[in-house]
Amino acid sequence: MGVTHLLRAEEWISSAPRHIQIWNALGWQPPLFFHVPDVLGKDKKKLSKRHSAPSWKELEQRGFLPEAVFNFLALLGWSYDDKTEFFSREALIQAFSLDRIGVSGGILDMEKLEWMNGVYIRNLSLEEFTQRCIPYMERQEVDGGLPDNISRPLDFDYTSHVLSLEQERLRTLGEAAHAVSFFYSNNLTYETPLLIQKGMDAERTKAALESAEKLLITVDQWEHSAMEAPMRELAVELGLKTGQLFGSIRVAISGRIATPPLFQMMEVLGRERTLLRIKEAIERL
C-alpha cells in the first residue's frame, strides 16, 4: 500500500517484532515503526470515549475554531521548544519532526485549549469573527443560541457592533449568544436588588437613576466619549462613587453585573432602548 511510516500507541511495542516478521515473510519492506505515548486526562489515565475524550463534533458544537484545535493537538506530547505555542498549519508542517515527540504522555488540558481558542478568536478580524459567531447565535435556544423569540436572520451590522464589545472576552464562539443576549432581548430578567449597589438603598438608587435619565436625555451625540464625562460629574454632584452610579445603570440596561464597558454598551444599545430600560428600572424601585 506504499505505507512508509507507522505511528501508533506505545502499548503496541511488544507486538512490533511479530509484525515485522509478517512483513518480512510476505516479502515487503517494513515501514518505520514509531511508538508514541498515550494522551492522558488530568488524572493521568488514558483518554478514551468512556473517559472524557471529546470528539471534534463536540468541540465544534461548543464553538472551538478548527485552527486552534489543530494547533492544540499538535502540542499534545510534542514541542518545538520551551516557548513557542502558536503555529499556523504551514509553519507546523515545516517544524514537525518525530524526534521532538516526548517520552511521557501528553495531558489533555481543556482549560489551555479554551485559552488558546480565545487567543485565536481575538486575532480574527471583526468581520470574520462576526461571520463565524452568527451561526452559533442563530441556533435554537435549546442548542445554546439566542432566545427563540428573537427574529432570525440577525442583522449583520448591528451584530458586528455588539460582538466588537465581546471579542476580547470570549473563549469559544458558543459563548457569544449568552454573552450578548441582552442586546437583543426587549424584556430583561433580573432581580431588582441587583440595582442597589453597596452603600445604597432603594430610594437613593431610584433618585440616582432619575438624575441619570434626565442627563442622558440632553446628550447631543449618543457616543460613549460624549456620555462618560458628564456622567462622572453627575456622580460627584450626587455624592456617589462612580461605581455606585455606573453599577446601577449597568444592571438597569443589561440585567447583569458583568458586561462590556458601560458607555460603549450604551452607545450600541442606542438612546431609545437605554432610556427605556433605565425608566423600567426606576419603576421597579
Q: Which of 44, 49, 57, 83 is catalytic?
A: 49
Name which of 197, 202, 161, 208 is nearest 180 in CA terms. 161
Query: Is it true that the peptide bond before 153 is cis, omega within 30 degrees of 0?
Result: yes
Q: What percent of the chain shows pLDDT beyond 70? A: 99
Question: Is residue 284 scored above 90 in pLDDT?
Answer: yes
| pLDDT attached to residue 209 | 97
Instruction: Determine the distance from the C-alpha atom of residue 83 to the mean position of all C-alpha atoms in its chain, rounded to a whole number.
Output: 24
Nearby residues of 42 by Cβ (< 8 Å), 6 or more positions away? 107, 108, 109
CB 219 within 8 A of CB 213: no
Three-point CA angle 266, 268, 273, nearest 5°: 60
* Long-range contacts (CB closer than 8 Å, 24 or more residues apart) made by 214-223: 216/271, 216/274, 216/275, 216/278, 217/275, 219/271, 222/266, 222/267, 222/270, 222/271, 223/267
Lowest-confidence pick of 40-44, 140-144, 180-184, 240-244: 40-44
Model-level pTM greater than 0.85? yes
* 236: amino acid identity, one letter: V
Question: Is residue 39 scored above 90 in pLDDT?
Answer: no
User: Can you list the domains of the chain with their CATH numbers?
Assistant: 1-36 (no CATH), 124-183 (1.10.8), 192-284 (1.10.10.350)
pLDDT digits (tens, 9 = 90+) for 243-263: 999 999 999 999 999 999 999
- 274 falls in which pLDDT band (50, 70, 90)? very high
The yes-or-no answer on residue 214 being catalytic is: no
CB 254 within 8 A of CB 265: yes
If you search the block for the grid coordinates 449568544, which residue do you land on? 177
Distance (Å, whole) CA 107 – CA 43? 9
* 37: amino acid identity, one letter: P
Name which of 174, 195, 177, 202 is nearest 255 in CA terms. 195
pLDDT digits (tens, 9 = 90+) for 84-129: 899 999 999 999 988 888 888 888 889 999 999 999 999 999 999 9
Question: Is residue 49 scored above 80 in pLDDT?
Answer: no
